[in-house]
Amino acid sequence: MRYLLCILGVLALSGPAAAQDKLPAGVLAKMGDAELRVEELKAIIDAAGPDVKAQLAQAPNEINRVVRTELLRKALAAEARGKAWDKRPEVASQMDRAREQALVSSYMNSVSRPPETYPAEAEIRAAYDQSQNSFIVPRQFKLSQIFVLAPAETDKAAFAKAQAKINDLNEKARKRGADFAALAKASSEHAESAGKGGDMGWVAEASLIPELRDPLGALKKGDVGGPIKTAQGWHILRLEDIREKGVRPLPEVRDQIAAALRLRRAQETEAAYITFMTNKTPVSVNEQELGKLIGKP
């Protein structure tokens, strides 16, 4: 099955689109005699859930892939039926199980789905208050850097040249009115940040190596620090801004909390329903026959 899905994915993404004939009303795509209707794709997308729908809305190429994959699946299924593959006993049995599993999944989703009004705002607030440790944001620094790679110290001439370069850049960066971004773009040897004028974005304090973390603690917003030697080379850092450690505000995490509460409620409801069903109609097992099936003497 995994091999087949890989083939479907490759075929769905490969090759140019065929020349399009005028399709009948309601038909979204066609491949030979196989047709994918608009309402069929809508049902597929609706069944995928709101998160997937939102992703597809932002990715037209992915929607195209879904269309092609589904159409190819329909074409292959039609070919298999044409060869009476669905009449084979082992295949018919698998199809019956898959159909029954789809039925059970849909039914249990309906049984366990919380009402649209759940959770209420008060429940979200209570969950937020009880789990604020989960929403702690560590102290963060917004940094810019100028970096010079350190050659092996055994190459004394190259090492001295690099050291002279970083010292010169450090002097220029500390001058009043210096354009740190221009210096970084022109001279920094860290390609990714240099292309952005040295901008490293927001970096969590805990993720910084100790050689950088300790000097940053002594800087104020707008200060330039360094050069700082690490195993890779020298860093001149400019502290652009600081976010102190704190708890993310409720509006930022409301949707996350609501989704977690809904999932937990659904799981609890499903477990309670299964318990109810098994208590209502206890399971009986013929242990002797079961033993024969698994080869137990």
**Pick from 59-63, 122-126, 238-242, 262-266: least confident:** 59-63
Encode pLDDT of 141-170 as tens digits. 999 999 999 998 889 999 999 999 999 999
User: What average pLDDT score do residues 245-265 get?
Assistant: 95
**Token pair recorded at residue 283:** 């399971």
> How many CA atoms lie less than 13 Å away from 192 in the CB half-sphere?
2
**DSSP letter string, 3-22:** HHHHHHHHHHHSSPPPPPPP
The fold adopted by the segment(s) 139-244 is Chitinase A; domain 3 (3.10.50)
Domain ranges of the chain: 2-85, 103-136+250-297, 139-244
What is the model's pLDDT at position 32? 85
User: What average pLDDT score do residues 233-260 get?
Assistant: 95
Q: pLDDT > 90: what percent of the chain?
A: 66
Residue 2 has pLDDT above 90, yes or no: no
Residue 100 has pLDDT above 70, yes or no: yes
Task: Find where tokens 């190429």 sit.
Answer: 61
User: CA-CA distance, 111 to 273, in Å (whole number)?
Assistant: 8
Mean pLDDT of the chain: 88
Encode pLDDT of 112-142 as tens digits. 999 999 999 999 999 999 999 999 999 999 9
User: CA-CA distance, 138 to 204, in Å (whole number)?
Assistant: 6
What is the model's pLDDT at position 15? 47
Residue 293 has pLDDT above 80, yes or no: yes
- CA nearest 69: which of 7, 27, 21? 7
Residue 76 has pLDDT above 60, yes or no: yes
What is the model's pLDDT at position 16? 47
Encode pLDDT of 172-197 as tens digits. 999 999 999 999 999 999 999 999 99
Q: Read off the pLDDT band of 23 (50, 70, 90).
A: confident
User: CA-CA distance, 91 to 77, in Å (whole number)?
Assistant: 12
Residue 234 has pLDDT above 70, yes or no: yes
User: What average pLDDT score do residues 94-112 get?
Assistant: 95
